[in-house]
């Protein structure tokens, strides 16, 4: 299946799993993270607290992925990943972002996920450059689809037309717009 792009609210999508651009504490935050927590209900925060704190305030280090049920969401699962904060590309941010996608796909495979929706991980308040973030996301999705035999539906649900254009450019001639969410 091709990679699909759309602008919208990821918390409303009816897919097997949505990816949450979480913070390392897995506490409800702002942006995509806040919208997902609000739509899923308080049980999601309780589930996030079940993950062991690896260091003070860190339940999900950058680049790692954690799985919880979707609770009140249309999605069965939420895969949480903490992306890197952009620090001029000098702290391994590109590899950490790639690991976010790789680990989300690994969790998806382990849980028989057939459809997954991603936000633009780290491209909001974490300041990751949009064009570079889009290139990494599309590259990792293509690698996963190539290894899975295209049996997975991958949607990038983006927060604005401006970032949508960056993902469309990174996707190139393979561009396919996802149907609008109801």
CATH number of 166's domain: 3.40.220.10
Residue 117 falls inside a structural domain: yes
Q: Which residue, among 133, 120, 115, has the nearest Cα to 160 in the 3D structure?
A: 120
**Cβ neighbourhood burial of 31 (10 Å; 0-12, 13-18, 19+):** middle
Count of structural domains within the chain: 1
pLDDT in tens, 83-120: 999 999 999 999 999 999 999 999 999 999 999 999 99
The pTM of this model reads 0.94
Among 1-5, 55-59, 70-74, 133-137, name the one with the lowest average pLDDT.
Answer: 1-5
* Domain span holding position 69: 3-174
Q: Which residue, among 63, 131, 75, 71, has the nearest Cα to 101 in the 3D structure?
A: 63
- Rounded to an integer, what distance in angstroms lies between the CA atom of residue 171 and that of residue 138? 6
The percent of residues in the chain predicted with pLDDT above 90, rounded, is 88
Q: What angle do CA 84, 86, 91 make, to 5 degrees?
A: 75
DSSP tag of 10: G
Catalytic residues: 33
The pLDDT score that the predictor gives to residue 101 is 98
Mean pLDDT calculated for residue range 146-150: 81
């Amino acid at each position: 299946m091709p990679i699909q792009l759309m602008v919208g609210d990821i918390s409303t999508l009816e897919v097997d799993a949505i990816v949450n651009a979480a913070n390392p504490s897995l506490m409800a935050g702002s942006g995509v993270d806040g919208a997902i927590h609000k739509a899923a209900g308080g049980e999601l925060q309780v589930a996030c607290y079940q993950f062991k704190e690896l260091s003070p305030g860190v339940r999900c280090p950058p680049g790692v992925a954690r799985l919880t049920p979707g609770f009140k969401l249309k999605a069965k699962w939420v895969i949480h990943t903490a992306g890197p904060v952009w620090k001029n590309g000098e702290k391994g941010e590109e590899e950490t972002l790639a690991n976010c996608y790789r680990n989300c796909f690994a969790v998806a495979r382990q849980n028989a996920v057939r459809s997954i929706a991603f936000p633009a991980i780290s491209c909001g308040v974490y300041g990751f450059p949009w064009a570079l973030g889009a290139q990494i996301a599309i590259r990792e999705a293509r690698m996963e689809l190539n290894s899975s035999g295209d049996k997975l539906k991958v949607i990038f649900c983006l927060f604005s037309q401006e970032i949508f254009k960056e993902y469309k450019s990174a996707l190139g001639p393979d561009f396919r717009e996802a149907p609008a969410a109801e």
